[in-house]
Amino acid sequence: MIERLSFNQITSKHATLEDCAEACVRHGVGWIAPWRDRVQEAGLQHSARRLRDSGLRVSSLCRGGFFPASTEAERLRRIDDNRRAIDEAEELEASSVVLVCGPAPDRDIDGARKMVAEGIAALVPHARGRGIRLGIEPLHPMFAADRSVIVTLAEALDLACQFDAATVGIVVDVFHVWWDPRLYFELRRATGRILGFHVSDWAVPLPGNVTGRSMMGDGVIELRRIRAAVDETGYVGPIEVEIMNEKIWSQPLDVTFEQTIQSYRDHVEN
Amino acid sequence: MIERLSFNQITSKHATLEDCAEACVRHGVGWIAPWRDRVQEAGLQHSARRLRDSGLRVSSLCRGGFFPASTEAERLRRIDDNRRAIDEAEELEASSVVLVCGPAPDRDIDGARKMVAEGIAALVPHARGRGIRLGIEPLHPMFAADRSVIVTLAEALDLACQFDAATVGIVVDVFHVWWDPRLYFELRRATGRILGFHVSDWAVPLPGNVTGRSMMGDGVIELRRIRAAVDETGYVGPIEVEIMNEKIWSQPLDVTFEQTIQSYRDHVEN
């Protein structure tokens, strides 16, 4: 049963959206999570039609966010870009946009966190109007300097709880949160706020930082235990396999799909 | 004023303890933090005499810890090794042993955390008897899989608070904790429990993982702000510069000392 498996497009970074969608159909994967650059490459309307015609459902659109910037003009430009991401998600019939919140433009991490909250607040009315949910994804603290100042489940959840649950929630990615001593407590606290669940694994040694993820089962993460905790919150949505890994990127698409399905079956499914 | 500056020996990994001690004297640095392998290489008694004769004070001995292991025999062996580290610290007149707590031997991170608590409990009577304090150092979560399951200030502090403050405390290293949304709250909570304070910086991109640290001022960490928060807890002890960085390791010792003193003066001192 791979009914909940969603293939996040970055797992096959060098494939087009079209190739990726065809591979999903060929391998019986019913969900896909496209990235904006690949959607733009193929054209938004064409992509939406293509995915619909393939019978694929879109688990999320990757990605919005990157709110903090040195100038107000730049911050407003980014909010506009996030509004476009919401419009694209609506066209693609995705239920949510994943937010990678962005780093501090200077050393002021508290200031950057405030800009993230303001950025999300600015987006909420537009997201609500389009029926698209915003999923705040806490990133691993090793990305605090260059990708996201939001680095723990607790922090993401506190932020989400400033807004209504119908519009703002969190995305739980095991690679980013597995180390947290408060993991299971925060997952219970996240009941009703989980919009997405991403799996991969943390191998030792890590094959890279941004490209440091491995297939499920090849690392140290307690995948079934985390999945059970996410299930217990009542989350019944898709489970995205999102793996950035140079070796996996360099292999044939069908091999990646076979590995993805096998390791999902062996290490994530109940 | 570099009165509180302590040179952690790993900052010049390829120098012997003797070379390192001489460089401290030559550059007016009054504190040193030796590593056990370099002490053993020179001989414990000889090292102790040499440091004493140089007028150097020992801020801490690096390092004990690594408690979790698959078998009880191995766990006991490691506790014995930690007892030896305490004896060495006493001989060197160090006030504390830094504990890097170790990773999980398998995927069971909760089990490993329990083994850490049990390991420290087993050491406390010996440490108390020798007058040596144990400093639990939370490591950055990117080391959770291979170096330490203790990865946040909150966790280290909760662990330390299971024991008396005269024997067990925490070591705050900016590289490991700067990203934490609870940083300043936990530092205030750590009043009376801080046994050591380590500085370096987090540059983007990180030059490595284990060897990812940079000179103060070359990265994104709010060094003065964190130092002020540590000072406000009443901590008046030495401030160790601990930098693992291949480029710094490959340069002449005197260059490293000049850079260390300059960047400490520019970015850490009040």
**Contact (CB, 8 A) for B55 and B24:** no
CA A62 to chain centre: 6
Q: Can you state the angle between helices B17-27 and B44-53, rounded to 10 degrees? A: 10
Strands laid side by side in the A96-100 sheet = A57-58, A31-33, A5-8, A239-241, A194-199, A168-173, A133-136, A96-100, A61-65
| Dihedral sign computed on CA atoms, order B234, B236, B237, B243 | positive
For residue B202, give the chain A residue with the closest CA: A145
What single-letter DSSP state applies at residue A59?
A: -
Mutate which: A70, A107, A185, vs B, most B CBs within 10 A: A107
Q: Cβ B204–A179 below 8 Å, yes or no?
A: no
What would the 3-class secondary structure string for B182-194 be? CHHHHHHHCCCCE
Q: How far apart are CA B52 and CA B144, in angstroms?
A: 37
Question: What pLDDT, in 10s, does the model give residues A38-70?
Answer: 999 999 999 999 999 999 999 999 999 999 999
Q: Cβ A179–B154 below 8 Å, yes or no?
A: no
Q: What's the confidence (pLDDT) of residue B132?
A: 98
Q: Cβ B141–A141 below 8 Å, yes or no?
A: yes
Residue B248 banded pLDDT, cuts 50, 70, 90: very high
Q: How far apart are CA A145 and CA A162, in angstroms?
A: 24
Q: How far apart are CA B142 and CA A205, in angstroms?
A: 11
Question: What pLDDT, in 10s, does the model give residues A176-230?
Answer: 999 999 999 999 999 999 999 999 999 999 998 889 999 999 999 999 999 999 9
Q: What's the confidence (pLDDT) of residue B1?
A: 81
Give A147 to chain B, closest Cα distance, Å.
Answer: 11
Question: Peptide bond before B238: cis, by omega within 30 degrees of 0?
Answer: no
B138 at A interface, C-beta within 8 A: no
Phi, psi at residue B104, to the nearest 5°?
-75, 135
Number of helical (H) and strand (E) elements in chain A, helices listed first: 11, 11
B141 at A interface, C-beta within 8 A: yes
List of chain B residues whose C-beta atoms are within 8 Å of the C-beta of residue A204: 145-146
Question: What pLDDT, in 10s, does the model give residues B62-71?
Answer: 999 999 999 9
Q: What is the DSSP string of A242-265?
A: ----HHHHTS-HHHHHHHHHHHHH
Phi, psi at residue B173, to the nearest 5°?
-115, 120
B267 at A interface, C-beta within 8 A: no
Residue B262 banded pLDDT, cuts 50, 70, 90: very high
Long-range contact pairs involving A164-167 (C-beta distance under 8 Å, separation at least 24): A164/A124, A164/A128, A165/A192, A165/A193, A166/A128, A166/A133, A167/A124, A167/A127, A167/A128, A167/A133, A167/A134
For residue A22, what are its two tokens?
């065809």
Question: What pLDDT, in 10s, does the model give residues B124-163?
Answer: 999 999 999 999 999 999 999 999 999 999 999 999 999 9
Phi, psi at residue B78, to the nearest 5°?
-70, -35
Q: What's the confidence (pLDDT) of residue A1?
A: 81
Give A141 to chain B, closest Cα distance, Å.
Answer: 6
Burial of residue A159 (number of CB atoms within 10 Å: 0-12, 13-18, 19+): buried
List of chain B residues whose C-beta atoms are within 8 Å of the C-beta of residue A146: 204-205
pTM score: 0.96
| Dihedral sign computed on CA atoms, order B11, B15, B20, B26 | negative
Q: How far apart are CA A234 and CA A193, in angstroms?
A: 10
Q: Which secondary-structure segment (H or E) carries A207? A: none
B61 at A interface, C-beta within 8 A: no
List of chain B residues whose C-beta atoms are within 8 Å of the C-beta of residue A155: 181
Question: What pLDDT, in 10s, does the model give residues B9-52?
Answer: 999 999 999 999 999 999 999 999 999 999 999 999 999 999 99
For residue B181, give the chain A residue with the closest CA: A155
Rg of the Cα atoms in chain A: 17
For residue A235, what are its two tokens?
């989350």
Residue B197 banded pLDDT, cuts 50, 70, 90: very high
Exposure string of B129-163, with b = 16+ CB inside 10 Å and e = fewer, is: eeebbbbbbbbbbbbbbbbbbbbbbbbbbbbbeeb
Question: What pLDDT, in 10s, does the model give residues A139-183?
Answer: 999 999 999 999 999 999 999 999 999 999 999 999 999 999 999
Q: How far apart are CA A234 and CA A248, in angstroms?
A: 32
Rg of the Cα atoms in chain B: 17
Kindly give, in sequence order, each residue whose CB lies less than 8 Å from that of residue B235, ignoring residues fewer than 6 positions away: B194, B197
Residue B208 banded pLDDT, cuts 50, 70, 90: confident
Question: Peptide bond before B205: cis, by omega within 30 degrees of 0?
Answer: yes
Q: How far apart are CA A241 and CA B86, in angstroms?
A: 46
Give B220 to chain A, closest Cα distance, Å.
Answer: 5
List of chain A residues whose C-beta atoms are within 8 Å of the C-beta of residue B221: 107
Integer CA distances (angstroms), B7 to A270, B152, B236, B237, B239, in order: 52, 24, 16, 13, 8
Question: What pLDDT, in 10s, does the model give residues B87-109?
Answer: 999 999 998 999 999 999 999 99
